[in-house]
Amino acid sequence: MRSYTASGDSNTWSGIITSMFRYTLTARSGRARAGIFHTPHGALLTPVFAPVGTQAAVKALTPAQVAELEASLVLANTYHLYLRPGDERIRTLGGLHEFMQWPGPILTDSGGFQVFSLGRTNRIDDDGVTFRSHIDGSTHRFTPEKSILIQENLGADIIMAFDECADPNDHTYIKKAMERTHRWAERSLQAKTRPDQALFGIVQGGVDPHLRAASAAFISSLPFLGVAIGGLSVGETKAEMHATLDVVAPLLPEDRPRYLMGVGTPEDLIEGVRRGVDLFDCVLPTRLARHHAVFSPEGRLNLMNAAFAGDDRPIDPTCDCYTCRTFSRAYLRHLIAAKELLAGTLLSIHNLRALVHLMAEMRQAIQAGNFEELVPEYLRKWKGNAERHRQRNQSD
């Protein structure tokens, strides 16, 4: 199924190629990469940030608004859609693209992360996981085969191998979970049948550099069309995250996209891109928006603060989003105080656009060859937007 050509020291090459998918690396700047990932629903210019649409909707936004802020890839959560409205239902209705009317590429996760993080796991064994629904308490079972079947029913362009994400601080268990993840990776590949979906493997291993190196080597040896780095942004420190990326990224195949799951803040994106990551997703921009917080060059602002009640400036005068082009902080603060739903919509548009725009800026710099010199400037601009609270789960 897979064939690829790679010319190691050229600046442009084509990586993995199937009849449906092709990854082309177009430029490098240090370890940072720019590329194009072709999918059946269009090309992704990488590095790219994917807004999260947990329940087949980016919260509070129409697909037209998501497209207007120039997001290209949207993530949906397998666990949630399996439970409601059901993957069979979505297949009958024409698949996820038709159902949610997102014409571009979609990525679904494997459901594993939610099964573990929503804390209702009944039993985990080598075959799979039994868990209770967070909606009605009913009992369900996911295996690698079941996860792939569900993701084939949903029909996203990029689907994920079923993995186990363990507590990074539980060093004994982390090895066991990694080994299980490797066996599940092979079973996920075996179970896959649709040629119009790219299956990505997931590197685990907590924050142990030896386990991470072993996992990176193993997952990279399998015929996945992309490799994800899982198990980060789940409780480890920033330094541990960076150290882990420093170990893993250089071991991943150059010719396939790399995806850092569930990350991040503006700084996380900058730190990830400079370490060679191509793809990111995170609930943070939309979740913060619903809690009245916005990314800005002045740092993260909580617009509920009374100081903004008379502030006639936009959130960020350098931002080109609909919200910043149109509304004052004073108006946004009023909407928040008055509990108007529109506040969530307008703040989500800004936060997502800030990250999508930052990715486009970094991509351009990588193409132009001056990304490395610009990194300090990016970090300076976005400092003060650090993640204050760890995200408990990667669905929104």
Q: How many residues bind a second copy (CB under 8 A)?
A: 39
Residue from 116, 327, 371, 382 binding a second copy (CB under 8 A): 327
Choose the binding region for a second copy from 2-10, 92-100, 136-144, 171-179 (rule: CB under 8 A). 92-100
CA 58 → CA 55, 75, 134, 285, 357, distances in Å?
8, 9, 20, 11, 17
d(CA 390, CA 170): 17
Of residues 32, 42, 44, the one with CA closest to residue 226: 44
Minimum CB separation from a second copy for residue 331, in Å? 6
Phi-psi region of 94 (alpha: psi -120 to 50; beta: other; left: phi over 0): left
**Residue 167 annotated among the catalytic residues of the structure:** no
**φ and ψ of 77, to 5 deg:** -100, 120
Strand bridging mode 129-132 / 121-124: antiparallel
Which residues, in sequence order, are CB contacts of 150 under 8 Å at separation 6+?
78, 81, 82, 87, 111
| Residue 59 makes contact with a second copy by CB under 8 A | yes
Among the candidate windows 54-62, 69-77, 238-246, 259-267, which touches a second copy by CB under 8 A? Answer: 54-62
Helix (H, G, I), strand (E, B) or coil at 125: coil
210 binds a second copy (CB under 8 A): no
Please, which residue, 335 or 365, has the CB nearer to a second copy? 335
Is 339 or 390 the residue whose CB approaches a second copy more closely?
Answer: 339
Q: Is the dihedral of CA 311, 316, 319, 323 positive or negative?
A: negative
The only residue of 12, 42, 84, 305 in contact with a second copy, by rule CB under 8 A: 84
Cα gap 145→147, rounded to integer Å? 5
**Shortest separation between residue 152's beta carbon and a second copy, angstroms:** 19
Q: Does 335 bind a second copy (CB under 8 A)?
A: yes
- As measured in angstroms, the least distance from the Cβ of 55 to a second copy is 4
What angle, rounded to 10 degrees, do the helices at 266-274 and 238-248 form? Answer: 30
Beta bridge partners of 39: 42
b/e 307-342 (16+ beta carbons within 10 angstroms → b): ebeebeebbbeebebbbbeebbbebbbbbbeeeeee
Nearer to a second copy by Cβ, of 21 and 99: the residue is 99
The question of whether 316 is a catalytic residue gets the answer no
Q: How far is the CB of 155 from a second copy (least distance, A)?
A: 15
Tell me if 85 contacts a second copy by CB under 8 A.
Answer: yes
Question: Segment contacting a second copy (CB under 8 A): 107-115, 152-160, 244-252, 341-349?
Answer: 341-349
- Output the smallest distance, CB 280 to a second copy, in A: 23
d(C-alpha 232, C-alpha 218), whole Å: 18
Count of C-beta atoms within a 10 Å radius of residue 149: 17
Which of 24, 117, 345, 351 is the binder for a second copy (CB under 8 A)? 345
At position 215, the amino acid (one-letter code) is: S
Catalytic residue (choose from 109, 163, 255, 268): 109
Distance CA 78, CA 157 (A): 13
Rule CB under 8 A: choose which of 310, 368, 370, 380 binds a second copy: 310
Minimum separation from the CB atom of position 51 to a second copy (A): 13
Q: Number of helices (H) and strands (E) in the chain: give both, helices first.
A: 15, 18
Smaller CB separation from a second copy, 277 or 335: 335
Among 312, 320, 373, 377, binds a second copy (CB under 8 A): 312
Options 189, 334, 384, 386; binder of a second copy; rule CB under 8 A: 334
Residue 103 lies near a second copy (rule: CB under 8 A): no
95 binds a second copy (CB under 8 A): no
Interface ranges with a second copy (CB under 8 A): 55-57, 59-64, 80, 84-85, 89, 92-94, 99-101, 309-310, 312, 322, 326-328, 330-331, 333-335, 337-338, 340-342, 344-346
Catalytic residues, by residue number, are 109, 281
